[in-house]
Structure 1
Amino acid sequence: MTQTTVDSSLFQPTRLGPLHLPNRLVMAPLTRNRAGADGVPGSLMTAYYAQRASAGLIIAEGTTPNAVGQTYPHIPAIHSPAHVAGWRGVTEAVRSAGGRMFLQLQHGGRIGHPLTSGLTPVAPSPVPLPETIHTPDGRVPSVTPREMTALDIRSTVADFARAARNAVAAGFAGVEVHAANGQLLHQFMARNTNHRTDGYGGPVANRIRFAVEVTRAVADAIGPERVGVRISPANTVNGIEEGDTRHLYPALLEALADMDLAYLHLEFANPANPLFATVRDAWPGVLMANPDLGWPAPLPADGGRSAGERLLDAGADLISLGRGFLANPDLVERLRVDAPLNPVRDKYTMYVGGATGYTDYPTLTAPGRKTQATQPFPLDAVVR
C-alpha cells in the first residue's frame, strides 16, 4: 500500500545554536514518574527516550536540581553522581539512536511534601498549594511551605547552576529552565504566591528577579547557547494567579533577551491569542511554541500537526508536542506519512506505573509490541 508523504515545514531541518536538528518537532518535557525512588533514571527510562529519538530535539522531563525541590514520587533528579550516571545511560542511548536531548530543570517550590522528599517544601512565601498532593502514601493535604531566606535564594540559584553542569556532564546538549506551570520560579513571579516585601517581592521588577538570576547563573555555568527557558503566561495550574500577566512577561523577556539564550519555550501557544504576538515581538531569538490542544480534550487526529503549522506561519521556529510523543514513539514518521496515531490510553498511566502506557506503545514497524508492566509505587490515585 502506497503511503502519502506530507509536505510540511515541520519536517524541515534547522539549527538550534550548535545543534543541527533534522526537523522542527520537539518532544516536550512530560512528567512520567518512572525514575527510581532515589531519583535515578533506570533502564525503563532509557528505553522510553531512545524509542523517541527521531524527534528533532527531546526535552527530558522536569528534573529536580536539589532534594527539597522534588515534587512527586519517582521524579528524576540531577544533584548527585548517581543521578548523573543514570542520565548518562539515557543520553548515550538516545545519541546512539540519532537523537539530541536537553534536560528540563524543575524546582517544585511549594509543590512538594515531606512524605516524598523528607523535607519541608520551600517557596517565596508561606502560601500552601490549595489542593491535595500525591505522595508515596497516596493523596494527602498539602503542607505550608517555609518562606525562603536570602541564603535559601542564593543557594538555590547555585543549585540550578550546579545541576546544569551535571546535566552537561551527563551528556545533555543543554538545559531548559522551568519558569512555568506553578513551579518555584513561577511562584516568585505570581502575586498570589509571592507576598515578600524584600527585593524579590512587590513590583514586577522584583518578582521576576529570581527567575532572571537562575537563568543567568545557568547560562554562565554552561554557556547561553545551551540554555532555554519555559514560560506559561496566564496559566493557573497548581493554584497560580499571576495578577498582572500583561506587565509581567514583557518585563521578564526584556530582562532575558540580552543573554543570547538558545530558545524561549512558550506553553499553550495560540496564534489567535494576542499574547502570542506580544511574546514573538518581544523575543529576539528562537521561539519554541507548544500548541494549545485543548487539554484535557482528546489528542487531535493529526497529533497537533496543523496547529504546529499555524504557529510556524505566525512566527514560531520550533514546535513542541507532548501527548503525541507520549503515545507515538515514531510520531515524526507517522505525521510525515499521514499514518493513524495511537491514542493516549488513559490519564492514569500518563503519570503512574511501569512499562504499561510508557514503553509499550506500538510503532508502525512493530504494531504488536508488548512489554511486562511493573508498578514503582502504590496506584491509589491519578497524580493530576
Structure 2
Amino acid sequence: MTTLFDSLLLGGAVSLKNRIVMPPMTRTRTTEGALPTDGDLPNEMVATYYGQRTGAGLIISEATDVDQSSHGYARIPGIHSETQMQGWRRVTDEVHRRGGTIFMQLWHVGRLAHSSILPNGQAPVGVTGERAEGSEVFAHGPDGRLRFMAVDTPRALSTDEVSAMVGTFAQAARNAREVGFDGVELHAANGYLIEQFMNSVLNTRTDRYGGGSMEDRTRFLMEVVDAAVAEFGPGRVGVRLSPHGKYGSMPTDPLVEETFLYVVEQLARRGVAYIHLLYELLPEGNMETGVFKPRYLDHGLLAKARALFPGAFIWCGGFNDRERAQASLDTGLVDLIAFGRPYIANPDLVERLKNGWPLAVADRSAYYTRHGNLGYIDFPAYSTDSAECGVA
C-alpha cells in the first residue's frame, strides 16, 4: 500500500521524497519595489518561510504574477522584473539548500482586479467585458489605504492580445527556470484568466479563443501549456483545475465535466507532470474573511480522468489530518495530497503527521496580515519536551 511518506518520481523528471504537497497560499508578505516596474518583491522573510517547510515532498509557491496587468491583489509577488527574479533566487537557493523541491505557480487574474493597483490605473482585462459581480480583491481604497474592494469592470482582450499573453506566460516560465525553480504550475482554476476562457457560459467570444467549441475555449490553456513545456521540458509542468468551482463569480457551466475530461486528455498528450485538483470552493465573503466549504468531486468523474491521464493527480481541499489524507490516497485516484492551512502553523508538518504529534492552529487574522513575520515565520517546530504546539 502506498503511504503519504513514500517517494514518487514526478513526471519521470523530479524525485519527491514523500506524497505530501504544500500548495500555493497567498500570504501578502512581499516588499514593494523601489520603482513601479519592480513590482512586489519576495524578500528574505519569504525565503525563510519556504525554507522552513522543505519537509514537503513538493512545495508550490504562492500565485505569482506573469506581468503587471496580472496584479489583482496588493502585495502579491511577480516574476516579470529583474528585482523580482533576484528575490526568487534567494527563495530557491534556500529551499534547495535544505533539500526541498519547489515549483512556481504562474497566474494571471484576468478580470479579478482593481484599477488602483494596475499600471496607470488601467482597467482589468478579461475574456469579455463582463464584470465579476460580488467578487472582491485586496487593493487601494479612495483614501490610499489597502482594503478589500469590489473588482472593476474589465476590458475584453483582443485576439492579438490573447496570443501575446501566451508569450508572456512563456517568458514567466523562462524566468522561473532561470532563478532555479524545479518546475511551474499553471493556475487554470478559481475563476482567474485561464478558467475564464474555459467556461462555456462566460466565454462568449467569437474568435479562435471563443466559447463556441471545446477546442476554441481551451485553446489559450493549451497554448500556454505548450509554451511552458517548451521552457521546462516534459515532466516539469503542472496544471491546477477546479471543476464546478464558483470562486471569482464563475457562472455554472453545463459543460464543465465534458470540458474537464477533454482538458485532461489534452494535457496527457503534452507531457504534463501532474494535475492539481482543487475541490469545489463555495466562498462566503472575501479571501480574508470568507468561509470556504469544500465539496468533493465525484469519484466516478475522477476515475474517468485517471484513465485518461498517465501523470500524477494532486488532491487539495480541507485536508487536516493523516487519516483522511491516507484514506484519499488509498482510493487509488490520486498520487499526492496537498495540505493547505495546516502548513501555515506547522512548518514541520510532515514530521508531525508521521509521528502523530498534535498540529498547531494559526489564528485566521494571521493569514494575510501586513505585520511582518507575525503569523508567518514565527511558528516553531514541535518539541517533545513541551506540550506547547506554538499557536500564533
TM-score (norm 1): 0.88
Query: SS at 1:9's partner residue?
Result: coil
| Residue 330 of structure 2 corresponds to residue 320 of structure 1 | no
| Residue 23 of structure 2 corresponds to residue 23 of structure 1 | no
- Compute the displacement of 1:20 (Å): 1.8
| Residue 6 of structure 2 corresponds to residue 12 of structure 1 | yes
Q: 1:352 to 1:191 in 2, by over 3 A?
A: farther
Q: Which runs of 5+ in 1 are unaligned?
A: 1-6, 294-299, 374-384
Q: Which one of 135, 139, 142 corresponds to residue 139 of structure 2?
A: 135
Contact (CA 8 Å) 2:114, 2:150: kept in 1 or not? no
Query: SS at 1:351's partner residue?
Result: coil
Alignment: residue pair count:
356
Q: Which one of 213, 218, 225 corresponds to residue 235 of structure 2?
A: 225
CA distance, structure 1, for counterparts of residue 238 and residue 247 of structure 2:
21
Q: Which one of 165, 174, 178 corresponds to residue 169 of structure 1?
A: 178
Q: Which residue of 1 aligns with 2:59?
A: 58
Q: Which residue of 2 aligns with 1:93?
A: 94
Question: C-alpha deviations, 1:84-133, integer Å up to 9, x for none?
Answer: 11000011111111111000001100011111123321111001121233
| Residue 385 of structure 2 corresponds to residue 350 of structure 1 | no
Question: C-alpha deviations, 1:284-308, integer Å up to 9, x for none?
Answer: 2111222x42xxxxxx7xx232232
Contact (CA 8 Å) 2:382, 2:389: kept in 1 or not? no
Q: 1:49 to 1:10 in 2, by over 3 A?
A: same
Query: SS at 1:79's partner residue?
Result: coil
Contact (CA 8 Å) 1:129, 1:142: kept in 2 or not? yes
CA distance, structure 2, for counterparts of residue 369 and residue 76 of structure 1:
30
Q: Greater shift after overlay, 335-344 or 201-210?
A: 201-210
CA distance, structure 1, for counterparts of residue 186 and residue 298 of structure 2:
26
Question: C-alpha deviations, 1:190-248, integer Å up to 9, x for none?
Answer: 13431111121222221111111111111112212211111010011111123311211
Q: Greater shift after overlay, 48-57 or 37-46?
A: 37-46
Q: Which residue of 2 aligns with 1:214?
A: 224
CA distance, structure 2, for counterparts of residue 357 and residue 205 of structure 1:
44
Q: Which residue of 2 aligns with 1:377?
A: none
Query: SS at 1:237's partner residue?
Result: coil
Q: Which runs of 5+ in 2 are unaligned?
A: 33-38, 142-146, 281-295
TM-score (norm 2): 0.86
Q: Which residue of 1 aligns with 2:301?
A: 275
Q: 1:350 to 1:13 in 2, by over 3 A?
A: same
Query: SS at 1:15's partner residue?
Result: strand
Q: Which residue of 2 aligns with 1:3?
A: none
For 2:268, the aligned partner's letter is: A
% identical aligned pairs: 38
Question: C-alpha deviations, 1:45-78, integer Å up to 9, x for none?
Answer: 1111111011111000100111101120000100
Contact (CA 8 Å) 1:190, 1:243: kept in 2 or not? no
